Amino acid sequence: MSSNLRVGLAGYGLGGSTFHAPLVSATPGLELVAIATSNPERVSKARARYPNAQVVASHDEFWTITPPLDLVVVSTPHATHAPIARAALEHGCHVVVDKPFATSSAEARDLATMAKQHGRLAIPFQNRRWDNEILTVQKLMRDGTLGDIQRYESRYERWRPVPKARWTEPGAGERGEGVLGDLTVHLVDQALLLFGPARRVYAEFVRQNPTVHVTDDAFIAITHKSGVIAHLFTSPNVAILGPRLTVLGSKGAYVKHGIDPQEEALLAGGTPGSHGWGEEPESTWGKVGAGDDVHPLRSEPGDYLKFYEGVAHAIRDGAAPPVTTEQGIAMMEVLDAARLSARENRVVELGQ
């Protein structure tokens, strides 16, 4: 194996250009050697920013590149994630699959089975495990600052009265579009990461904007086997935003407003890992405490690079991947249960 793992990126839309390409390029041991996109504007931008990468019209051209690719990153429309991942595995590549890992838990299990058969890794891209507020909650839990966690509320709310164009197209729901395949995936993954497996799920899904064909407002309640109750909210229809998250414990609480600054920095063309990366000003820190004893708490710096550093370590050294296929399956099982709950208006029990 060469000194660097050779990486091909399928898709150069928002996810590919803003997250994957910069993060891969900034990760020691990874080399972005190919980008697949047929959009002329994206082709031009990819060539300008990554002149050493070969830009091809389709991921099918990846399989003819020599030396062969070691890793394929899939950042294409949701319904194409699993098919492209399967093709990459069949050609001997490891894969990183952007959210959602699959369109159902059954499809996720199929990917896991195929990856095992080919001796390769299929890794869900859950970069928001390394958002500053999630890292801060993990530190508070390790320190015991909040005591026993009892309730957790987590929100990705935005005010975007003009919906994404692809949400307004007929068949968008069948293609996995809408908030369920978008930021809701991160909320569920974060809750399972923090508090463990789900025991029961209740959900309410709404289509608020009359021009869309998908769920654009979602609420999911998870009762974890650990006893923690998680309430998760996702909507682009919120004119006044609530807290990003609220964590209530037997000793105190932690409340955080505002979103991790890494996405904004990446959109502005920032270099991951540069000086001050992931830091946020004191004015946006959360608050921790109880009663009259409440004070600002410095946020742990966000660090999306940890994901791809973990990917490189897993492929090269056999370490556990930063996100496992089993975790991807568990996340999809919760989303499947949430769809059933919303459709039948009932609580859905998961495996005991």
Tell whether the model's pLDDT for residue 1 goes beyond 50. no
- Reduce the DSSP state of residue 162 to 3 states and report it: coil
3-state secondary structure of 135: helix
pTM above 0.85, yes or no: yes
Residue pLDDT, tens place only, 326-342: 999 999 999 999 999 99
Q: What is the pLDDT of residue 103?
A: 87
Percent of the chain at pLDDT > 70 equals 99
Predicted confidence band at 171 (pLDDT cuts at 50, 70, 90)? confident
Give dist(CA 69, CA 90) in Å, integer: 12
Task: Answer for the pair 121, 95: CB distance below 8 angstroms, yes or no.
Answer: yes
Average pLDDT of the chain, as a whole number: 95
Residue 2 — pLDDT band, cuts 50, 70, 90?
low
pLDDT tens digits, 18-74: 999 999 999 999 999 999 999 999 999 999 999 999 999 999 999 999 999 999 999
Taking only the tens place, the pLDDT of each residue in 191-205 is 999 999 999 999 999
Residue 305 half-sphere exposure toward CB, CA atoms < 13 A: 17
Write the pLDDT tens digit of every residue in 70-94.
Answer: 999 999 998 899 999 999 999 999 9
Q: For the segment 278-287, what is each residue's pLDDT rounded down to a tens digit? A: 999 999 999 9
CA distance 283 to 288: 14
Place of tokens 């990760």: 27
Question: What is d(CA 59, CA 114) in angstroms, rounded to the nearest whole number?
Answer: 19
Side chain identity at residue 326, one-letter code: E
Distance CA 330, CA 324 (A): 10
Residue 153 has pLDDT above 90, yes or no: yes
Going from the N-terminus, what domains does the chain have, and what CATH number goes with each? 5-125 (3.40.50.720), 128-306+333-349 (3.30.360.10)
3-state helix, strand, coil in the chain (%, to 5): 40, 25, 40
- The pLDDT value recorded for residue 352 is 56
pLDDT in tens, 235-260: 999 999 999 999 999 999 999 999 99
- Counting every residue written for the chain, the total comes to 352
Q: What pLDDT shows up at residue 227?
A: 97
